[in-house]
Each structure stands twice: as structure tokens, then as C-alpha cells.
């Protein structure tokens, strides 16, 4: 659905998304990396369970919440990818301990 | 000469009290108008903590403990009636509730206070337990190391109070009550056994009058020879993001809502009509909550707000009927959630019949007329 306007020149960053290896460009936000990897629905809402995708990409809408390295409800668009990062799409509410 | 009356009853105030009473009156077949302010009103009903709470209430007035327990006992019926009439689930749950203590001193004070409460003459009897740390931990495994114990009462519970307000409004309108927003009452004139209310949006006439205007009652009550010595008392609340259920019982200062948010409360400040949020109080609320449940420390806070309780000098409600204008009634309290069942199912029928039950005499504002020197 999404494709990059310019393919990155530098070496890519490797992360895991729901147990699957995904490569991203250095400097990508987690939300951008997910969209580029065709992971569009990044979570479901906590009350009605409706799917949500990254929307505003600037920290306002909170629709891109994902679990990053075991911490739930992280804003994907404000979190930069890092080598070895473990990302999980989030089903409903986060857990209080993670 | 017969005068035209728009309504059988005018209820002044569209919060939890006014809506519960208005719905209760409409259920008895009365033609009801509920007069409300606009969006700028101080609205305790939209800022409360949503507990349906029994333990610790009534020290100094055992009748208040009995009145509270009665409402708590009828809350399930209230929730079922609202579900039946509106299809709205007010998320009432009554698993029992906790008051947690973070030091031996707090635990000792709590123990003594509840003993004094339950040792009062005429005190209604109901179960509660003092628990040590292990006793609390069996039911609340996530408590932090500073929790030394607490009290548990099986009658305590909670609900979704915003949905309660919405359900009461929906139910009262479905039963034909008129909700009149932006009808700030400037003046009340007793007239021919009824009342003319001069409002910002024109006159409203009614045979009976119920003042349920929260802190506004202080201004309105003298117009019908009633007294309502109430003052605003600020409380602040902090709300976290939604999380999976982890807190099976409400704690008096921490509860998880039906939709997963964790609400943290509840502060007490004398700040007049100032409902602004202060970071110092918010930080203290959050710190105490984190000490009770360390897991909360990892959660994001999404909202905080302040609201103004409607407080009397002794902290107990006022229910009264005017001696000079006997068709005028007043109701005011700071537990509009807990007492909602009583207001709809007990108080409203009394008002419809034109007479408060003698059991409510103890709640008359005449108790404040006692000379101060004569009080303990």
C-alpha cells in the first residue's frame, strides 16, 4: 500500500514485528517502518476492539500505539527505530505491568 | 382563581441529584421540568469519583450511615431500572471495597475511627473487616511493600458515573420530563401555593419546587424560606490510560473503570469557587497511588481535573421541606452517586406525595441553627 519515495542509501535497521523480521531505514519512526512493511493496522481500540492505523504521524492522534520492547501504548510515530527493536501490534488495552 | 401551571414540579439543577429526583418524580406520573444552567456551570456530577460507598460514612450522624446503606442496597435495582428504561449499562459492581493504609499510624487511626462509627447508638449494623497486610494481599496481590493493612467492606462498589448521569437524563426525558438548559434561576416567587421561577430564558411556573442546584442552593434556598449552608470543596482526580483489568476491587482513592482507565483521587481543598488543577496535589495523589500499587508507576496519565464538592459544615446531606412554603423542598449532598438510588426511588415519591418522611427530619438544615456554644 505504501512505498518509499526514495529508497534509503545507508544500511537498513533490523527489527522484529510480531515475531517477523522487518527492515527499516535509519531514522524511520516505528509507525513509518510499519507502514512501509505493510503492517497497516497496528492496534485495536481498548473498548470496541476496532482496528486502528497510524494517522497523524506527528504525535497528536494516538492511533499508532504499539508495544515496543515490552512497553505498551508507545506512540509509534514518536519512537525511532533501533537495531534489534521488538515491536508488537497491540490488541486492545495494554497491560499494567508491560 | 386558578392559575395556569406549566408543571407539577420544577426541579432546579440537572446534575445527579436533580436528574435522579426528576426521573423519580416522572416515574410517579408528575409533570416535571428540570431547570439547568449552561455548560459553564460548576458540575460536581461530571467530576466525581463514581464510588457507591458505605464504609466510614456516618460518624456523628448514624442516620446518614443507614441512609447510605439503604441506597447502596437499592443500587442494583436502580441500575436494572435504568437498563430497562434506557438500555444504558451504568456498570454498577459491588465487589466490596478497600481503604488502604500506608503506615501503622494510619491503620490504627482507621481501626479506631471505624470502631467509633460502629459503636454509635442507633448505628445501622453492617459487616466490615480490618485486614493486616497479608489479609489485603490475598485479595489485592499487586499492593506495594508500604501497604500495612486496611479496611474492607463488602457493601462498597462503584459504577460509571458519567453514564449514570446520561442514563438518568435519558430516562427522565423518556418519561416526559422537560429538560430546560440555560435556565439559570434568578428569582423564585411563591405564588398561590405554587412557584414562579424567573429564569434567564423566561418564567417557569410549577406547583412544587425542588432545589437540587448543588452549591447554587445556598443562594436559592432563602427565596423559599429554606437554608442551605453549603460551600464548595475542591477535589482533584488523575486518570491513566486504559489497561487490562488488574484491580478487582475499588479502593477509596484508586479504582479501575469498566473501560479500563485507572482513576486516582481524592484530594480535599478549601479553595472557594476555583476548580483549577494544581500540579502539587496531582503529584501527591499519583505518589500515594504508586506506593499502594507500584505497577501504576509505569502508566501514562491522560487527564486530570478538579471539581467542587457541595459540602455542609458537618459533611452530611440536607433534605428539607419549607415550613412557610411547604411545597418547596431542598436536597443537597456530596454523594450524588451513592445516594442516587435513594433520591430516585425514595425521596422523589415523598416529594410527589408532598411530604418528607419523618425519618428525614434529622437531615433538616435546622440542625445548623443550634448555637455554636452548645456543640461539642
Residue B373 has pLDDT above 60, yes or no: no
**pLDDT, tens digit, 9 for 90 and up, residues B101-132:** 999 999 999 999 999 999 999 999 999 999 99
- pLDDT score of B225 more than 90: yes
Q: A96: which chain B residues are within 8 Å (Cβ-Cβ)?
A: 142, 243-244, 246, 262, 295-296, 298-299
C-alpha cell at B88: 444504558
Contacts of B20 (CB under 8 A, 6+ apart): B168, B336, B340, B343, B344, B348
Q: How many Cβ contacts (< 8 angstroms) between chains A and B?
A: 35
B8-37: b (≥16 Cβ within 10 Å) or e: bbbbbbbbbbbbbbbbbbbbeebbbbbbbb
A93 with B242: Cβ contact below 8 A: yes
| Cβ within 8 Å, pair B241-A71 | no
B310 interface with A at CB cutoff 8 Å: no
DSSP-assigned states of every residue in B276-344? ---HHHHHHHHHHHHHH-GGGGGSPEEEEEEEEEEEETTS--EEEE-SSSTTEEEEE-S-TTTTHHHII
Q: Do B244 and A73 touch (CB under 8 A)?
A: no
Contact of A47 with chain B, judged by CB distance below 8 Å, is answered with yes
Res B80: pLDDT: 98
Give residue B1's pLDDT band: very low, low, confident or very high (50, 70, 90): very low
- Percent above pLDDT 90 for chain A: 84
User: Residue B246: closest CA among chain A residues belongs to which residue?
Assistant: A96
This model of the complex carries an ipTM of 0.86
The residue of A92, A96, A98 whose CB has the most chain B CBs within 10 angstroms, and thus the best one to mutate to test that interface, is: A96
- Is the predicted pLDDT of residue B35 greater than 90, yes or no? yes
Handedness of CA B356, B358, B359, B361 (dihedral sign): positive
Residue in chain B closest to A46 (alpha carbons) equals B242
DSSP β-bridge partners for residue B97: B153
Packing angle between helix B161-174 and helix B16-27, nearest 10 degrees?
30
- What's chain B's average pLDDT? 95
Give tens-digit pLDDT for B76-88: 999 999 999 999 9
- A26 interface with B at CB cutoff 8 Å: no
pLDDT given for residue B2 in this prediction: 38
Q: How many residues belong to chain A?
A: 98
Note the pTM of the prediction, 2 decimals.
Answer: 0.93
Helices (H), B201-277: 217-220
Which residues of chain B make contact with A47, given a CB cutoff of 8 A? 242, 259-260
Q: What is the pLDDT confidence band of residue B161, given thresholds at 50, 70 and 90?
A: very high
Residues in B closer than 8 angstroms to A95, CB to CB, are: 243-244, 246
Q: How many CB atoms lie within 10 A of CB B362?
A: 17
Percentage, residues of chain B above pLDDT 90 = 91
Mean per-residue pLDDT over chain A, rounded: 94
Spatial CA neighbour of B318 closest among B83, B49, B17: B17
B131's grid cell: 485486614
Residue with cell 527489527: A15
Residue A4 at interface with chain B, using a CB cutoff of 8 Å:
no
The grid coordinates of residue B87 equal: 438500555
Q: Where does B31-95 show beta strands of DSSP type E?
A: 32-35, 51-52
C-alpha cell at B368: 445548623
Amino acid at each position: 500500500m505504501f512505498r518509499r519515495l526514495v529508497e534509503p542509501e545507508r544500511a537498513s535497521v533490523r527489527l522484529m514485528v510480531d515475531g517477523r523480521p522487518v527492515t527499516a531505514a535509519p531514522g524511520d519512526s516505528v509507525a513509518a517502518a510499519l507502514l512501509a512493511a505493510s503492517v497497516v493496522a497496528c492496534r485495536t481500540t481498548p473498548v470496541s476492539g476496532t482496528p486502528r492505523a497510524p494517522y497523524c504521524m506527528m504525535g497528536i492522534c494516538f492511533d499508532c500505539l504499539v508495544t515496543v520492547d515490552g512497553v505498551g501504548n508507545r506512540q509509534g510515530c514518536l519512537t525511532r527505530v533501533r537495531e534489534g527493536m521488538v515491536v508488537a501490534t497491540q490488541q486492545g488495552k495494554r497491560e499494567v505491568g508491560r | 382563581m386558578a392559575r395556569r401551571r406549566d408543571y407539577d414540579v420544577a426541579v432546579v439543577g440537572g446534575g445527579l441529584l436533580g436528574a435522579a429526583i426528576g426521573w423519580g418524580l416522572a416515574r410517579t406520573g408528575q409533570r416535571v421540568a428540570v431547570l439547568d444552567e449552561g455548560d459553564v456551570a460548576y458540575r460536581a456530577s461530571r467530576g466525581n469519583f463514581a464510588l457507591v460507598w458505605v464504609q466510614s460514612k456516618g460518624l456523628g450522624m448514624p442516620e446518614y450511615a443507614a441512609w447510605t446503606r439503604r441506597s447502596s442496597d437499592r443500587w442494583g435495582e436502580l441500575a436494572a431500572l435504568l437498563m430497562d428504561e434506557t438500555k444504558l449499562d451504568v456498570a454498577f459492581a459491588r465487589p466490596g471495597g478497600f481503604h488502604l493504609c500506608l503506615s501503622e499510624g494510619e491503620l490504627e487511626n482507621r481501626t479506631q475511627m471505624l470502631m467509633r462509627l460502629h459503636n454509635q447508638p442507633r448505628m445501622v449494623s453492617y459487616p466490615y473487616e480490618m485486614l493486616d497486610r497479608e489479609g489485603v494481599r490475598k485479595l489485592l496481590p499487586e499492593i506495594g511493600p508500604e501497604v500495612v493493612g486496611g479496611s474492607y467492606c463488602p457493601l462498597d462498589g462503584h459504577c460509571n458515573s458519567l453514564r449514570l448521569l446520561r442514563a438518568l437524563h435519558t430516562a427522565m426525558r423518556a418519561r416526559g420530563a422537560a429538560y430546560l438548559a440555560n435556565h439559570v434561576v434568578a428569582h423564585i416567587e411563591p405564588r398561590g401555593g405554587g412557584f414562579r421561577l424567573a429564569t434567564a430564558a423566561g418564567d417557569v411556573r410549577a406547583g412544587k419546587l425542588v432545589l437540587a442546584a448543588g452549591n447554587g442552593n445556598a443562594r436559592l434556598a432563602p427565596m423559599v424560606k429554606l437554608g442551605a449552608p453549603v460551600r464548595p470543596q475542591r477535589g482533584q482526580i488523575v486518570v491513566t490510560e486504559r489497561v487490562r483489568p488488574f484491580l478487582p476491587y475499588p479502593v477509596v482513592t484508586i479504582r479501575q473503570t469498566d473501560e479500563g482507565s485507572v482513576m486516582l483521587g481524592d484530594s480535599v481543598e478549601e479553595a472557594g469557587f476555583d476548580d483549577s488543577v494544581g500540579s502539587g496535589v496531582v503529584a501527591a495523589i499519583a505518589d500515594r497511588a504508586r506506593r499502594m500499587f507500584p505497577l501504576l508507576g509505569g502508566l501514562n496519565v491522560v487527564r486530570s481535573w478538579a471539581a467542587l464538592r457541595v459540602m455542609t459544615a458537618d459533611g452530611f446531606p440536607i433534605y428539607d421541606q419549607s415550613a412557610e412554603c411547604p411545597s418547596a423542598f431542598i436536597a443537597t449532598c456530596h454523594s450524588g452517586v451513592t445516594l442516587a438510588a435513594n433520591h430516585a426511588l425514595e425521596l422523589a415519591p415523598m416529594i410527589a406525595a408532598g411530604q418528607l418522611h419523618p425519618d428525614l427530619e434529622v437531615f433538616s438544615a435546622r440542625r445548623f441553627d443550634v448555637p455554636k456554644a452548645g456543640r461539642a
